[in-house]
């Protein structure tokens, strides 16, 4: 399938909007892990997830859960772009009394399916929902996005075993392999070099892809969604802080605050990307 020529412009606009609300809140925000997942979320929401702002309560809808909750800036940006979150709520990110905080809080009207702050919970949650859906003979898909550092959590592998044991072919996991976590690089904390073999050893169909290549991502999500032999996982290699020169690969921007000067530079970087 040939993607729309406007897709890169849409992704750029989402990154701009994330930088904007991250600056407006005048607080530190999780920029790095949010910027790394924009293409992944964009492809899922535009081309695969059967849900609209009008059908968030539909029991037949597909479900997406952001397991790496600190990447929520990316999720908010995509939900706003596709009309799930209104501008007034979007620009109230991390404001006093606002509905959007630093991690996802379940809000069906906004299309946010699960609260996630504690890492390692998304796959566990979805595995139960996916099994229940299969027992009801429903035609639904369930997607979750984890971080590579999050895969240090034992609960991830408990859920991975369960999904494989139950042959849950209606569930697709995507791992944001950006090489960093809160404390340091994943290589220093707990090496992820064998992450593909690990998932395969748990009985998952594994796809490896460039997490910023829209065509490659579309192909991987299409193949994993169509796979009927059990659960599948997409290992998406990404750059933490993607699109902003001083954030890319710089773990200081896992959680940090923009000044007026860095805000202007970040916007310039994003606007100039791929032009």
> Looking at the domain 7-272, which fold is it?
Rossmann fold (3.40.50)
Is the pLDDT assigned to residue 259 strictly greater than 90? yes
Provide the pLDDT for residue 1: 60
The two structure tokens encoding residue 139: 């035609």
Provide the pLDDT for residue 275: 57
Is the pLDDT assigned to residue 103 strictly greater than 60? yes
- Determine phi and psi for 9, rounding to 5 degrees: -65, -35
Exposure string of 74-96, with b = 16+ CB inside 10 Å and e = fewer, is: bbbbbbbbbebbeeebbbbbbbe
Provide the pLDDT for residue 3: 84
Q: What is the mean pLDDT of residues 161-188?
A: 94
Is the pLDDT assigned to residue 139 strictly greater than 70? yes
Which percentage of the chain shows pLDDT scores above 90? 92
pLDDT tens readout for residues 120-138: 999 999 999 999 999 999 9
- Mean pLDDT score of the chain: 96
Is the pLDDT assigned to residue 233 strictly greater than 70? yes
Using pLDDT thresholds of 50, 70 and 90, give the confidence band for residue 274. Answer: low
Provide the pLDDT for residue 184: 86
Is the pLDDT assigned to residue 183 strictly greater than 90? no
Q: Is the pTM of this model over 0.95?
A: yes
Using pLDDT thresholds of 50, 70 and 90, give the confidence band for residue 187. Answer: confident
The two structure tokens encoding residue 54: 């009008």
Residues 218 and 248: their CA atoms lie apart, in Å, by: 23
Least-confidence region, from 138-152, 186-200, 231-245: 186-200
First to last CA, the chain: 23
Q: Is 170 helix (H, G, I), strand (E, B) or coil?
A: coil
Provide the pLDDT for residue 29: 97
Residues 122 and 125: their CA atoms lie apart, in Å, by: 5
Residue 11 · residue 5 · CB < 8 Å = no
Q: Which residue intervals of the chain are DSSP H helices?
A: 7-24, 32-35, 38-43, 72-81, 87-90, 122-135, 154-165, 186-189, 195-201, 214-226, 260-272
Is the pLDDT assigned to residue 17 strictly greater than 70? yes
pLDDT tens readout for residues 49-79: 999 999 999 999 999 999 999 999 999 999 9
Return the domain boundaries, the chain.
Answer: 7-272
DSSP tag of 234: E
Provide the pLDDT for residue 182: 85
Provide the pLDDT for residue 189: 86
């Amino acid at each position: 399938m040939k993607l729309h020529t406007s897709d890169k412009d849409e992704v750029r606009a989402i990154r701009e909007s994330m930088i904007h609300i991250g600056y407006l809140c005048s607080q530190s925000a999780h920029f790095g892990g949010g910027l790394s997942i924009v293409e992944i979320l964009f492809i899922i929401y535009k081309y695969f997830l059967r849900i609209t702002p009008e059908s968030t309560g539909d029991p037949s809808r597909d479900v997406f859960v952001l397991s790496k909750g600190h990447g929520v800036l990316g999720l908010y940006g995509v939900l706003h772009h596709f009309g799930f979150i209104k501008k007034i709520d979007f620009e109230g990110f991390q404001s006093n009394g606002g509905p959007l905080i630093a991690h996802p809080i379940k809000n069906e009207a906004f299309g946010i399916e699960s609260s996630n702050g504690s890492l390692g919970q998304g796959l566990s949650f979805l595995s139960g929902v996916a099994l229940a859906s299969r027992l009801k003979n429903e035609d639904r898909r369930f997607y979750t996005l984890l971080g590579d550092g999050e895969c240090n959590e034992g609960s991830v592998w408990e859920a991975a075993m369960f999904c494989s044991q139950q042959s849950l072919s209606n569930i697709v996991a995507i791992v944001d392999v950006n090489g960093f976590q809160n404390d340091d690089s994943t290589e220093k904390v707990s090496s992820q070099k064998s992450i593909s073999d690990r998932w395969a050893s748990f009985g998952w169909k594994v796809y490896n892809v460039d997490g910023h290549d829209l065509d490659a991502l579309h192909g991987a999500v299409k193949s994993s969604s169509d796979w009927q032999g059990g659960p599948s996982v997409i290992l998406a290699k990404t750059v933490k802080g993607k699109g902003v020169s001083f954030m890319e690969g710089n773990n200081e921007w896992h959680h940090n605050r923009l000044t007026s000067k860095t805000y202007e530079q970040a916007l310039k970087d994003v606007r100039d990307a791929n032009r």
